[in-house]
Chains A and B, each alone.
Chain A
Amino acid sequence: MTSGNVAVRRLLGPDARGLLIGFTLLIALFAVASMLVEGFASANNIRSILLLAAFLGLASLGQTMVATVGGLDLSIPFVIGASNILLAYLFGTAIPPALAILIIAALGAVVGLINGILSYRIQGQALILTLGVGFALVGGAQIFTTIGSQYSGTVFSQVPAWFANISSISGKTFGLSFPPVVLIWALVAGLIILWTNRSVSGRALYAIGGNRVAAARLSISEFRVWVTTYTISGVTAAITGMLLLGFSGGGFVGVGDPYLFTTVAAVVVGGTSLLGGAGGYGATIIGVLVLQVLTSFLVGMGLNYAAQQTVFGLLILPMVALYARSPHIRYQI
């Protein structure tokens, strides 16, 4: 078989088909939006779409990894909210900012680790478990930051200028006028795609997601892979929460709330099957861009947040119906 043959087969395979559908949808949405909304294709608007996409993209990274092995992580918005206020709190203490960032990232990893270990034996209920962990975390974090302060839920402190620059809309990257967080997202995305496609440990995710028995025969530790994906999810959620602090300038626990279902939506719209074993971060990036362009379009059309949620919900169903239908019961026997 020649390499050309393989390339053609890949192009016609289900993964490529998903990417193609997503990409077409993205282009179509963008074209329609630029025609209907004035200034949609302006540099300013594209910059803001990319900035918001970077946050959603980083938050969805972990969700993609977890979905690849057939799980779901609903603790992401709570980790984002908790790391957001905890970092704001730490910036207000004598701890050096760089160390504070490391502490929060480590905390995210620990939360992810706990999620992974606790949900391993009850994988079907991982979503409920992570929701519980998230709830406990966000309650705990708020108790911690509220004691000795009269503002409940909001934390005020000085965010270092270099940190705010990373993710503010007017941020500069090596003198160019786009915020560095977009570059960070692109680098992280490249690394993750390289890892999941080209390394043995990355492919193990697909092995576990595809068929656990077969993966076990290949001496792949299901436990290790499962816990690793949840740990990645915890870390990326914590990083997103910290970057959002730079974006908004003040700690607010509710900052993660919109990410509860949008991370799932981004994964699903991109084409990663929640059944596990298919899809990848490349697909999620397209999903993230589709959602962000759509949001910007809906805002431009004058729809409020509530109506946007409804449109998102209506969008998920046909997308899942395209990618992730389970076979009829008579073919499952």
Chain B
Amino acid sequence: MVSKLLQRNAHLAVPATLVVVLALVAFIRAPGTFTYTGLAGAVLVAAPLILAAVAITPIAIAGRGGVDLSIGPLIGFVNVTIVVWLGALQISNPVLVFAFAIVVACLWQGLLAAMIIYVRISPIIVTLAGYLILQGVNLVILPRPGGFAPEWLADWGWGTELLGPVLYILIAACVIWFVFQRSPMFQHIRLMGADERTAYTSGVDIVKARFAAHLMAGVFAGLAALCLTGMIGSGDPTQGNTLTLQAITALVLGGTSLAGGKGGITGSILGAIAMYFVFVVLSSFNFGAISGFMTQLSYGLILVVSLMLSLLTLRPAPRPA
């Protein structure tokens, strides 16, 4: 039983070890992180990245080398539209704002899925074009950071209470995922990601499965955007963009294969937490002018090394003839 559990979660060994080691280093370097308010702040700051990494997980599992490059600008898009459009309409009802964020993100993901399925362009091109389009659109909607989030949402940004809305959203996201994971649809997505031809010939509705993967991503992307908006309390057209690369790094670090068919959000969450600890540890050193570059250097190296580590667990795939 135990050995079976260990075997099934072997891909989590790398991210889990990394999180423990980095947490220890962070505990020595910045003990403030592990106080009550420290943890509350950590949850607040890490939540957008965690949810963004969770969002791109089902798309990666769905295969065809699907990695959603547009996730960052999408989160930014929801952020600026909440501030600018809903602000102009004076809509600040929490239910409406939640619904707006999730529906907008799902619409975008549905559009991407439709392009991939019906126009039959490789996912990477679709999401790349999506990145370019949204990045520009965000700047058109809101040329520079500014505006105000609805008051209840901006209040999340104080980050003094651990048991606050951000933590509840994270828990809700996990619950949604683990319910989804039990559904036959998830098995279809996984089968499709592992081998689309086999899935198709076994009668899996691959159109439905791909749409489902993208809609799940949309739900999490909407939640990520709400957390980001709560954290910064205003609109920022460019802040979301940086999330793309970080989310992909967290995903790869978490052992989800970009080749499709395997992985889960536990890995992505661990990966995102590891990334957050890297950030904490790096900022505890006094690098002065080069601290930003150190972060860049370490994120790049971590991404490369985690990709190399994923090679170790890779079974030799049968070559397509």
Which A residues fall within an 8 A CB radius of B?
Answer: 72, 118, 121-122, 124-125, 127-129, 131-140, 142-143, 146-147, 150, 152, 212-213, 261, 264-265, 268, 274-275, 304, 306-314, 316-317, 320-321, 324-330, 332-333
Annotate B86-113 by CB proximity to A: 1 below 8 A, 0 otherwise.
Answer: 0000000000000000000000000000
Tell me which of A129, A137, A321 contacts B307 (CB under 8 A). A129
Number of CB contacts from chain A to chain B under 8 A: 165
A297 to B206, CA, bound (A): 42
Interface-lining segment among B147-155, B176-184, B224-232, B293-301:
B293-301
Annotate B54-77 by CB proximity to A: 1 below 8 A, 0 otherwise.
Answer: 000000000001010000000000
The B interface, classified by DSSP as helix, strand, loop or mixed, is helix
Annotate B117-132 by CB proximity to A: 1 below 8 A, 0 otherwise.
Answer: 0011110111011111
B1 CB within 8 Å of chain A: no
Tell me which of B130, B292, B300, B311 contacts A134 (CB under 8 A). B300
A314 and B289 contacting across the interface, CB-CB below 8 Å? no
The A interface, classified by DSSP as helix, strand, loop or mixed, is helix
Using CB atoms, name the residue of chain B closest to A213: B321
Given known A-B contacts A306-B140, A314-B129, A326 and B310 have beta carbons under 8 A apart: no
Tell me which of A137, A139, A306, A321 contacts B136 (CB under 8 A). A306
A128 and B252 contacting across the interface, CB-CB below 8 Å? yes
Which parts of B145-204 form the interface with A (CB within 8 Å)?
A: 196-197, 200-201
Given known A-B contacts A128-B303, A139-B293, A150-B289, A329 and B311 have beta carbons under 8 A apart: no
Which B residues fall within an 8 A CB radius of A?
Answer: 65, 67, 115, 119-122, 124-126, 128-133, 135-140, 143, 196-197, 200-201, 206, 245, 248-249, 252, 258-259, 289-290, 292-304, 307-308, 310-311, 314, 319, 321
B289 and A313 contacting across the interface, CB-CB below 8 Å? no
- Chain B nearest Cβ from A14, distance in angstroms: 16
A139 and B196 contacting across the interface, CB-CB below 8 Å? no
Given known A-B contacts A135-B297, A325-B119, A329-B206, A316 and B125 have beta carbons under 8 A apart: yes
B303 and A122 contacting across the interface, CB-CB below 8 Å? no
